[in-house]
């Protein structure tokens, strides 16, 4: 599952069941729990889940290294879809997962209240506190504990070229709406009917959407089309690390069209729901920003650095490791 498909999770509803449950190195999930990737003075073993895309892999490393530094044995297990890792989290096969508030809230909303619930009675909104509160109500009965959300957010976002922004004096999506300039959006073809894409841009911002170019969400082809002037607007995410290389800039979602997909840890309440684990992870949550995520993603995707190395360098730079 890619970062961009994850970010669209709330908008697109529950994804089809896909992928397989695997651990790093191809071991089974149960075996992975016995084999720590990091270790300190024994406080108990904790399995951190990762969803396989760059940002999730880095976040999992950040969590695992912080917890190892605090004395836990930690391992990282990569699971390809939320449909698989969320039940594993409930069962305690995975103890901790870096998650996104709005996307998980609507995933659980559909699971608990039926597939039409996210559309008919959504839990998530642009209000992070309300979204997290709704998520907590859904997660608790499933044996999950939602830890506090931070300021770092990975959600749908729209970008234009720097030249286009300068020509039309654009900094926000409201600016684009006021400009009345027609824009063709490079996105998935579902953008035409989604409330967080073309429908919302028209209704909330008054943006003149002339069409959709179905090149995918945040793909190189989509961004290249905007760079070349074939399209004017691209749907991507707030932590896209490649925008600069295409000469693109994000327009601020100043009217809060997108739901609050703030990063937060979700844990198995029985296995990892104690205050000590929460306190350790909160150190990271309090300092991590959206800009930090962009840079961490860039180092992995553009510089080909390993997520483990990028995570350690960040934790060292922030003074979060004792060792």
In sequence order, what DSSP letters do the residues of 41-67 get, joined into one string? S-S-EEEEEE-SSHHHHHHHHHHHHHH
**What mean pLDDT do residues 184-212 have?**
96
**Domain residue limits at 124:** 3-153+260-317
Same domain, 140 and 44: yes
Is-contact 89 268, C-beta < 8 A? Answer: yes
Lowest mean pLDDT of 20-29, 182-191, 238-247, name the range: 20-29
Phi, psi of 111 (to 5 degrees): -65, -45
- Does residue 323 lie in a domain region? no
Same domain, 25 and 143: yes
Same domain, 148 and 192: no
For residue 150, pLDDT over 50 is answered with yes
Give the domain CATH number at 225: 3.40.190.120
- Does residue 76 lie in a domain region? yes
Report DSSP letters for 235-280, one per residue: EEETT-TTTGGGTEEEEB-TT--S---BEEEEEEHHHH-SHHHHHH
If you ran DSSP here, which 8-state letter would residue 16 be given? P
Token pair belonging to 7: 């970010």
Q: What is the pLDDT of residue 323?
A: 64
How far is 138 from 256, CA to CA, in rounded Å?
24
Lowest mean pLDDT of 7-11, 45-49, 86-90, name the range: 7-11
40 falls in which pLDDT band (50, 70, 90)?
A: very low
Give the domain CATH number at 35: 3.40.190.10
The percent of residues in the chain predicted with pLDDT above 70, rounded, is 86
Same domain, 138 and 168: no
Same domain, 311 and 236: no
Which of 154, 109, 103, 101 lies closest to 128 in space, CA to CA?
101
Same domain, 107 and 244: no
Q: What is the pLDDT of residue 35?
A: 37
* Count of positions (residues) in the chain: 323
**What mean pLDDT do residues 82-111 have?**
96
Same domain, 277 and 131: yes
pLDDT digits (tens, 9 = 90+) for 218-241: 999 999 999 999 999 999 999 999
For residue 13, pLDDT over 60 is answered with no
Which of 110, 92, 91, 108 lies closest to 100 in space, CA to CA?
108
Same domain, 146 and 86: yes
């Amino acid at each position: 599952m890619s970062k961009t498909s994850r970010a669209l999770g709330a908008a697109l509803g529950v994804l089809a069941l896909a992928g397989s449950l695997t651990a790093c190195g191809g071991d089974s999930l149960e075996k992975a729990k016995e084999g720590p990737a990091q270790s300190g003075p024994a406080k108990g073993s904790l399995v951190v889940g990762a969803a396989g895309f760059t940002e999730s892999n880095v976040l999992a490393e950040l969590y695992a290294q912080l917890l190892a530094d605090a004395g836990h044995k930690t391992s990282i297990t990569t699971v390809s879809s939320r449909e698989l890792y969320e039940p594993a989290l409930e069962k305690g096969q995975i103890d901790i997962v870096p998650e996104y508030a709005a996307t998980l809230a609507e995933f659980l909303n559909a699971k608990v209240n039926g597939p039409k619930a996210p559309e008919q009675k959504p839990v998530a909104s642009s209000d992070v506190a309300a979204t997290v509160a709704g998520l907590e109500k859904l997660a608790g009965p499933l044996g999950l504990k939602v830890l506090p959300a931070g300021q770092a957010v990975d959600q749908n976002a729209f970008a234009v070229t720097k030249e286009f922004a300068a020509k039309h004096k654009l900094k926000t999506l409201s600016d684009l709406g006021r400009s009345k300039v027609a824009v063709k959006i490079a996105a998935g073809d579902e953008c035409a009917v989604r409330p967080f894409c073309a429908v919302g841009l028209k209704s909330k911002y008054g943006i003149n959407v002339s069409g959709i170019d179905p090149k995918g969400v945040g793909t190189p082809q989509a961004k290249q089309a905007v760079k070349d002037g074939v399209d004017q607007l691209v749907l991507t995410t707030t932590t896209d690390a490649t925008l600069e290389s295409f000469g693109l800039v994000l327009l601020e979602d100043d009217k809060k069209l997108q739901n609050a997909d703030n990063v937060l840890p979700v844990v198995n309440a029985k296995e990892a729901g104690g205050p000590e684990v929460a306190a350790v992870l909160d150190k990271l949550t309090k300092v991590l920003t959206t800009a930090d995520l962009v840079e961490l993603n860039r180092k992995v995707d553009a510089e080909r650095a390993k997520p483990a190395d990028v995570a350690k360098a960040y934790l060292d730079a922030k003074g979060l490791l004792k060792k």
